[in-house]
Amino acid sequence: MVSGHIADFSLDYEVGNSVFIDNKEWAIAEIRTGFIILQRDSVDGTSQTIDVSKNELQELVKETQHKFEN
């Protein structure tokens, strides 16, 4: 279960939080040294994962937030 949504870029990321990237919700599945693993389940039941650095994640979330504001 997703425990929260990240909108404030100054917050630390925690396993279980969710972030929105390109209008899709991703859950933070694992935090490792140097990168964060995001996971999402597609409508068809398949699971996807991506690995991003904390800086990359902040930029992706920021870009998505900017799209919603405009």
What are the extents of the domains in the chain?
4-69
Q: 2 pLDDT band (50/70/90 cuts)?
A: very low
Q: 11 pLDDT band (50/70/90 cuts)?
A: low
pLDDT at 7: 46
State pTM to two decimals: 0.72
* Inter-residue contact 39 to 26 (CB < 8 Å): yes
Helix (H) or strand (E) holding 58: helix 54-69
Q: What percent of the chain has pLDDT over 70?
A: 76
Angstrom distance (rounded) from CA 34 to CA 64: 22
